[in-house]
Amino acid sequence: MSQISKFGLDHHGVINAAATHWNQGPERLYEDTVRLGLGTISEGGALVVETGKYTGRSANDKFIVEEESSRGNIWWGPVNKPIATDKFDVMRIKMLAYYQGRELYVQDVYAGADPQFRLSVRVITDSPWHSLFVRNMFIPVPAAEVTEFVPEVTILHAPMMYADPNVDGVNSEAFIMMNFGERMMLIGGTRYAGEIKKSIFGYLNYLLPERGVLPMHCSANIGSDGAASIFFGLSGTGKTTLSADGTRALIGDDEHGWSENGVFNFEGGCYAKVINLSQEAEPEIYATTKRFGTVLENVVIDPVSRVPDFDDGSLAENSRASYPIDYIENIVPKGIGGQPANVVMLTADAFGVLPPISRLSADQAMYHFLSGYTARVAGTERGVTEPQATFSTCFGAPFMPRHPSVYAKMLGERIAKTGAKCWLVNTGWSGGAYGTGTRMKIAHTRAMVRAALDGRLAEVAEAPDPNFGLLIPSACPDVPTDVLQPRTTWQDKSAYDSYAGELRGRFEDNFKQFEEYVDDGVKKAGIFKAA
């Protein structure tokens, strides 16, 4: 059966391509990547690629077109920067000119496992490995549906076409432009594949609230009892690691919707951070790096044996693996779960003062969702020499086109309706701040999360944290009791008190921007200082 849609590329203005490769699988895309000198094959069969100087999202280069249909719905500011329609139109013309005479790769995919809410997406690129990334990360259109496929949104992608900031109205050679009115996105000047994934996520984050669906930057899984759990968190906080738990079935690792039907995955694959990956700590993810079809991004390999070295961060601390979700053994095949019984919010607290696990009231969950706290540490960004508090509202501010209060209100309504239990889990530091303390052991965090999700922590006595009011369990199976109380893990108790006071103040200062959008219960839920 043909893998070509009758809705041709001429509908997007694409003409005179040297060749067009439609909906190719990994075999052809591997061949072309190697032929073009864009990647190599590792021991085990993964495709290994490098992204050059862009090894993560380029937040300063992302724009939303200021146009009539969406202007009044956008949370304009440093995250959602406007760009004029004429600048978008000129860049689109430049990209279409750039495509002429080049080999192009097209993937027609769905974003959204629930057919009631899924989005039809077409990605056109001149890079074969990026086409494989799209095929891994989203849901390929079944062969029987390809011919009649019509995209609702189109991405023109040209990773090695560069903008001129002086002419194009952008900030660098890289550009990510989203036009809701035209239902089109332009991405160029950066080879980092995550820009494609996050652009589609951003589009869904704009579209779905009007359809009664809460879009979430979270992972999700299901226990043997059939109850779903979701894990909010920023990059590096453990969403992928904790959701890929062999004792639970994985729905998805990064982006989901919460509708009246329950939770559903936006994607068909996973994009796992693999720096310092080990078989012992994360066996499910490690196994995927040995599979044909996996894309290893900025992972160093031995030039002779081609064995990956996941501890080598010389190319990027943000090294990644992209693979189809069915490379994880225990998954939910349809990517759909019921109403969540647990909502887990993950933070990597580099100050080392938040408890490793604590229960949240509904008001506290709203407070921490709007806050979206984690911390950057030295070495992750230029100029960062000590822990820096980072507040990314809704645990995903760069991907939220609408005002955070829109998403927070929907979350509050769903927690109230379902009675979901809420938890805050610190996967960051214990016994001291970054540089003095140590990173929380994955085994301990897994044990705490499992006990929370299966109900064992519900039987344990709790006491409020004196700085943040979070309810800390007095015991947890397979976890030393002293680990649960952050202050007891510090040798210098006065230093703990100082760091805790500083972080409490940062929370208070950050939340002032949201106070007018929440009730008194949420305002008072964030901090608690014992007399």
Q: Which residues are catalytic?
A: 57, 198, 217, 235, 239-240, 254, 320
Tokens in use for 245? 């738990």
Q: Read off the tokens for 172.
A: 């660098």
How would you class 246 by CB atoms within 10 Å of its CB: exposed for 0-12, middle for 13-18, buried for 19 or more? exposed
Q: How far apart are CA 177 and CA 152, in angstroms?
A: 17
- Residue 486 · residue 430 · CB < 8 Å: yes
* Spatial distance between the Cα atoms of 128 and 107, rounded to a whole number of angstroms: 10
Residue 133 makes CB contacts below 8 A (sequence gap 6+) with 193, 196, 197, 295, 322
Cα–Cα dist 340/226, whole Å = 10
Task: State CA 520 to chain mean position distance.
Answer: 31
Euclidean distance between CA atoms 284 and 166, whole angstroms: 47
Judging by DSSP bridges, how do beta strands 103-111 and 300-301 pair with one another? unpaired
Measured in whole angstroms, the distance separating CA 257 from the mean position of its chain's CA atoms is 13
Alpha helices in 380-477 (DSSP H): 404-418, 442-453
> What letter would DSSP give residue 276?
T
